[in-house]
């Protein structure tokens, strides 16, 4: 073993742990074996209020090995919170994640770190679908679901990952410390990928060994987590997604808003409301509905303006598009078209104007990349 004053470079490995007493000890023993003449380890076990003897085992390991630090959550907060706690404490040049359940072989972590150590990468992800080590054969539909989620994530991030949902990830510390993880459960994976991708660092991918578990053996992920992952892909990627992808999402949002606009317009017309009031009332109610969906699914609230200014600019855009909607609808009606095609045509044109105004005026965001690493003096 190298002396404490050696020149090895430190890697902080975060080990989130929840009810893993059966594998925690073996996981740490295997993890410590990757320490060599190039790297030294700082192993941070974050016990997330386990109900078994995981914390007791972790404390024993902490006393046995000087590389280990144990942090404890008094209440269960989820994997995302455990990672946040560990990353904040990490003092290494790089930060890696190792699940305590041993589905991922700690020996692969040493290979995952190689492009980071060489200076070729800022982040490295392990892939269960690239040719690599041995793989336990398990659930077909889980595999298909993972590939679908990776495909959907790649559409938004413009990356060509093969396994977005992998739990095996390593980063330059100054990169991963720039993000705050908000997801509590398995939504943490698409969230991290989204936020890292937006900084446009150099990302490498490597095939890894995978020994998955059955539900009887303690596997925790469920179909509910898959649905949450889809939400996370939209929620964390959409504000910085490529413009064509954003416009496709806005077409869905705008389509729902346009349908509401049309329905309200026809209802008001049938109730003998005047034409101008029918047009404007339907438009502004639909515009408010559109704004709420944009904030929930597409653009980032308060991206550039404070709330009052954002609302003011939003109202300005809505007023301009509303005036266009009014005069376009009246002009088409005057030209001989019926109410429905006139309103539909004006609505489609307004859809394009609305997207442009929201993206470049109301919710405008500057590009967040490329990420520039900190240079040590």
Buried b (16+ CB within 10 A) or exposed e, 328-355: bbeebbeeeeebeebbbebbeebbeebb
Give whichever of 165-169, 184-188, 214-218 has the largest mean pLDDT.
165-169
d(CA 69, CA 80): 18
Look up tokens 């991922």; give the residue: 104
Give CA angle at 210 (208, 214), nearest 5°: 165
Give the mean model confidence (pLDDT) for residues 181-204. Answer: 92
82 pLDDT more than 90: yes
Structural domains of the chain sorted by starting position, each given as residue range(s) with its CATH number in brackets: 9-240 (3.90.550.10), 243-362 (no CATH)
User: What pLDDT score does 377 carry?
Assistant: 47
280-307 pLDDT tens trace: 899 889 888 988 888 888 888 888 888 8
335-364 pLDDT tens trace: 888 888 888 888 888 888 888 888 899 998
User: What pLDDT score does 138 carry?
Assistant: 62
132 pLDDT more than 70: no
User: What pLDDT score does 365 carry?
Assistant: 81
Distances (CA, A) of 262 to 138, 152, 253, 346: 49, 31, 14, 11
Give the mean model confidence (pLDDT) for residues 174-191. Answer: 90
In the DSSP assignment, the letter for residue 279 is H
Q: Which residue has the higher pLDDT, 60 or 272?
A: 60
The two structure tokens encoding residue 258: 């346009």
d(CA 297, CA 309): 21
9-60 pLDDT tens trace: 999 999 999 999 999 999 999 999 999 889 999 999 999 999 999 999 999 9
User: What pLDDT score does 35 carry?
Assistant: 92
What is the number of other CB atoms lying within 10 angstroms of the CB of residue 288?
14
pTM listed for this prediction: 0.78
User: What pLDDT score does 139 carry?
Assistant: 65
Give residue 112's pLDDT band: very low, low, confident or very high (50, 70, 90): very high
Distances (CA, A) of 332 to 259, 262, 348: 19, 15, 13
What is the number of other CB atoms lying within 10 angstroms of the CB of residue 4?
7
User: What pLDDT score does 62 carry?
Assistant: 96
């Amino acid at each position: 073993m190298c002396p404490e004053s050696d020149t090895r470079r430190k890697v902080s490995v975060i080990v989130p742990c929840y009810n893993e007493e059966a594998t925690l000890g073996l996981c740490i023993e295997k993890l410590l074996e990757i320490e060599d003449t190039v790297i030294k380890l700082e192993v941070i076990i974050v016990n997330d209020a386990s109900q078994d003897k995981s914390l007791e085992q972790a404390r024993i390991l902490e006393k046995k090995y000087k590389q280990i630090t144990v942090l404890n959550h008094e209440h269960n907060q989820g994997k995302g919170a455990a990672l946040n706690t560990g990353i904040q404490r990490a003092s290494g040049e790089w930060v890696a994640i190792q699940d305590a359940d041993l589905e991922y072989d700690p020996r692969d972590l040493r290979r995952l770190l190689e492009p980071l150590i060489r200076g070729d990468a800022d982040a490295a992800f392990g892939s269960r679908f690239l040719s690599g080590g041995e793989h336990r054969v398990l659930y077909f539909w889980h595999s298909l679901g993972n590939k679908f989620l990776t495909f959907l994530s790649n559409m938004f991030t413009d990356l060509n990952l093969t396994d977005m949902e992998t739990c095996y990830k390593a980063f330059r510390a100054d990169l991963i410390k720039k993000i705050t993880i908000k997801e509590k459960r398995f939504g943490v994976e698409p969230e991290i990928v989204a936020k890292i991708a937006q900084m446009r660092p150099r990302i490498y991918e490597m095939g890894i060994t995978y020994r998955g578990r059955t539900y009887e053996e303690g596997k925790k992920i469920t179909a509910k987590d898959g649905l949450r992952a889809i939400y996370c892909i939209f929620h964390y990627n959409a504000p910085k997604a490529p413009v064509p992808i954003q416009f496709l999402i806005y077409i869905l949002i705008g389509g729902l808003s346009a349908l509401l606009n049309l329905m309200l317009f026809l209802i008001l017309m049938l109730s003998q409301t005047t034409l101008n009031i029918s047009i404007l009332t339907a438009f502004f109610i639909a515009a408010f509905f559109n704004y709420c969906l944009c904030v929930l699914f597409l653009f980032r609230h308060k991206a550039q303006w404070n709330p009052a200014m954002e609302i003011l600019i939003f109202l300005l855009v809505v007023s301009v598009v509303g005036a266009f909607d009014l005069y376009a609808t009246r002009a088409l009606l005057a030209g001989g078209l019926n109410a429905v095609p006139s309103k539909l045509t004006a609505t489609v044109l307004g859809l394009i104007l609305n997207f442009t105004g929201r993206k470049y005026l109301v919710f405008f965001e500057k590009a967040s990349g490329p990420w520039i690493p900190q240079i040590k003096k």
